């Protein structure tokens, strides 16, 4: 029924990202509503420790695959590399859990979360093909199926057990079953004459996998460093202020969902088109980028107005009356969202140039800025200091990306 409605490809991508973002936010909301601040803090620490490893293992292959307009590498090669990187990521995540966390339940929760990240990585093979072929309806369909099932099982188990580990295990199990027995079926129904997700294909692409790894490794390192943008402030708050304040910070920052939905949808669905525009029609490319920046500015101003007028009421409604006193902090969150969106668009400009190797030093500079900023500002200003460090870092990254992009343009002209 939905497919018969006239919805643009970008809008299907946005709806697909809505499903993912709402599911992630709903998991946190369930923990906040039915769990303790200790549980929320532990979940936040698990993500802070393991999400950077997951982001490294993705190698940002979706970005590479969607911008691979000449099909330099096959779908089977992309999938084979995802299988290898996911397996390595699970092993590293287990080792980190053993080193960082005390207690068997936290270590086991880290292992289960790592497996969930691995499945998410494998799903990227199907999603990348759908997006590259402008079939975002199917991207939306599998995301709705996967995320609805995952959050439903997670919520029911946590409501009954009030413990994080069994809820994560149920989430993992349903994600695996949906991926194996339903999502793959949808994929092969769309592409009936392909077998590019088959294990038989993995051993046929060894040399191509190595070449693809060389291309994507800088992006993977960039993704790891990017994940540290949120991990560093969490570690600082946990160390200086405690798990209770970390739970509040995590809840507030979760409201960046709206920014991430809109900006990520634009970035992921627009990348193939922007790559073509950059190669063949630079004037059109700049028009689209200017429109995106204008949209981000309007979004930021709207979010600030809502936060200023009804911020405390919204927080109390979502997370409980104890959160209604953090209206000022919500305004800071919206400012951080605006800075992050601007950084994402400027970074997209480098991706359209396939200038991937320059993104890593930019991300390292931003991560260092956030790390040192959080280390200083959290002690002085508390949670607001962590938000301030992120906002400064994102604006610095946007400026660096824009500068490097213009330098590449100038060099090409000369």
* More confident site: 16 or 393: 393
Q: What percent of the chain has pLDDT over 90?
A: 45
User: Buried (b) or exposed (e) across 163-172, using 16+ Cβ within 10 A?
Assistant: ebbbbbbbbb
Q: Does residue 73 carry a pLDDT above 60?
A: yes
Relative orientation angle of helices 9-34 and 136-161, to the nearest 10 degrees: 10
Q: Does residue 1 carry a pLDDT above 50?
A: no
Helix (H, G, I), strand (E, B) or coil at 296: helix
At 155-173, the pLDDT tens digits run 999 999 999 999 999 999 9
At 187-199, the pLDDT tens digits run 989 888 666 676 5
| Spatial separation of the C-alpha atoms in residues 357 and 365, rounded to whole Å | 14
Q: Where are the domains of the chain?
A: 2-413
User: For 117-134, what is the mean pLDDT?
Assistant: 90
Q: Does residue 6 carry a pLDDT above 50?
A: no
Residues sharing a CB contact under 8 Å with residue 390, sequence separation 6 or more, in sequence order = 229, 230, 233, 336, 339, 340, 370, 373, 374
Mean pLDDT of the chain: 86
User: Buried (b) or exposed (e) across 10-27, using 16+ Cβ within 10 A?
Assistant: bbbbbbbbbbbbbbbbbb
- Mean pLDDT highest for which of 16-25, 40-49, 68-77? 40-49
* More confident site: 389 or 260: 389
**Of the candidates 372, 360, 368, 371, which has an alpha carbon nearest to the alpha carbon of residue 401?**
360
- Write phi, then psi, for 395 (nearest 5 degrees): -65, -40
At 224-279, the pLDDT tens digits run 998 999 899 999 998 899 888 998 999 898 887 666 666 666 665 666 667 777 77
Q: Does residue 72 carry a pLDDT above 90?
A: no
Q: How confident is the model at residue 344 (pLDDT cuts 50, 70, 90)?
A: confident
* More confident site: 282 or 31: 31
SS (H, E, C) the chain: CHHHCCCCHHHHHHHHHHHHHHHHHHHHHHHHHHCCHHHHHHHHHHHHHHHHHHHHHHCCHHHHHHCCCCCCCCHHHHHHHHHHHHHHHHHHHHHHHHHHCCCHHHHHHHHHHHHHHHHHHHHHHHHHHHHHCCCHHHHHHHHHHHHHHHHHHHHHHHHHHCCHHHHHHHHHHHHHHHHHHHHHHHHHHHCCCCCCCCHHHHCCCHHHHHHHHHHHHHHHHHHHHHHHHHHHHHHHHHHHCCHHHHHHHHHHHHHHHHHHHHHHHHHHHHHHHHHHHHHHCHHHHHHHHHHHHHHHHHHHHHHHHHHHHHHHHHHHHHHCHHHCCCHHHHHHHHHHHHHHHHHHHHHHHHHHCCCHHHHHHHHHHHHHHHHHHHHHHHHHHCHHHHHHHHHHHHHHHHHHHHHHHHHHHHHHHC
| Spatial separation of the C-alpha atoms in residues 9 and 270, rounded to whole Å | 10
Burial class (CB in 10 A: 0-12, 13-18, 19+), 173: middle
Q: How many CB atoms lie within 10 A of CB 273?
A: 18
Distance of CA 102 to the CA centre of its chain: 27
Q: Does residue 5 carry a pLDDT above 60?
A: no
**Of the candidates 44, 127, 116, which has an alpha carbon nearest to the alpha carbon of residue 86?**
116
* More confident site: 220 or 206: 220
C-alpha dihedral, 23 to 217 to 221 to 203, nearest 10°: 50
Q: How confident is the model at residue 196, as a pLDDT? A: 63
Q: Does residue 414 carry a pLDDT above 60?
A: no
Q: What percent of the chain has pLDDT over 70?
A: 88
């Amino acid at each position: 029924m939905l497919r018969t409605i006239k919805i643009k490809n970008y809008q299907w991508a946005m709806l697909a990202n809505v499903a993912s973002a709402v599911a992630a936010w709903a998991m946190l909301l369930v923990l906040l509503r039915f769990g303790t601040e200790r549980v929320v803090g532990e979940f936040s620490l698990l993500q802070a420790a393991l999400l950077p490893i997951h982001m490294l293992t993705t190698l940002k292959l979706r970005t590479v695959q969607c911008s691979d307009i000449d099909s330099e590498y096959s779908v089977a090669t992309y999938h084979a590399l995802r299988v290898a990187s996911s397996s390595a990521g699970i092993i590293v995540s287990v080792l980190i859990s053993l080193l960082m966390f005390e207690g068997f339940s936290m270590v086991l929760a880290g292992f289960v979360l790592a497996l969930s990240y691995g499945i998410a990585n494998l799903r990227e093979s199907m999603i990348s093909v759908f997006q590259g072929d402008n079939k975002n309806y199917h991207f939306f369909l599998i995301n709705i199926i996967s995320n609805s099932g995952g959050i439903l099982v997670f919520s029911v188990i946590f409501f009954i057990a009030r413990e994080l580990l069994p809820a994560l295990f149920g989430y993992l199990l349903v994600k695996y079953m949906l991926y194996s027995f339903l999502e793959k079926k949808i994929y092969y129904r769309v592409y009936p004459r392909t077998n590019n997700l088959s294990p038989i294909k993995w051993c046929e692409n060894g040399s191509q996998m190595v070449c693809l790894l060389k291309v994507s490794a800088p992006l993977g390192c960039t993704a790891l460093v990017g994940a540290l943008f949120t991990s560093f402030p969490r570690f600082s708050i946990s160390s200086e202020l405690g798990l209770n304040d970390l739970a509040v910070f995590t809840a507030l920052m979760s409201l960046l969902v709206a920014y991430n939905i809109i900006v990520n949808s634009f970035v992921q669905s627009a990348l193939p088109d922007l790559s073509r525009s950059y190669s063949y029609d630079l004037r059109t490319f700049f028009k689209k980028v200017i429109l995106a920046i204008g949209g981000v500015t309007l979004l930021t101003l709207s979010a600030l107005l809502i936060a200023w007028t009804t911020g405390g009421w919204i927080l109390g409604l979502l997370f409980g009356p104890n959160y209604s006193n953090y209206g000022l902090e919500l305004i800071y969150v919206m400012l951080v969202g605006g800075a992050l969106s601007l950084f994402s668009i400027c970074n997209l400009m480098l991706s359209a140039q396939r200038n991937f190797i320059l993104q890593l030093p930019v991300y390292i500079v931003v991560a260092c800025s956030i790390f040192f900023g959080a280390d200083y500002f959290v002690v002085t200003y508390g949670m607001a200091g962590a938000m301030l460090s992120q906002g400064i870092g994102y604006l610095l990254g946007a400026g660096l990306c824009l500068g490097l992009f213009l330098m590449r343009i100038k060099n090409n002209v000369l």
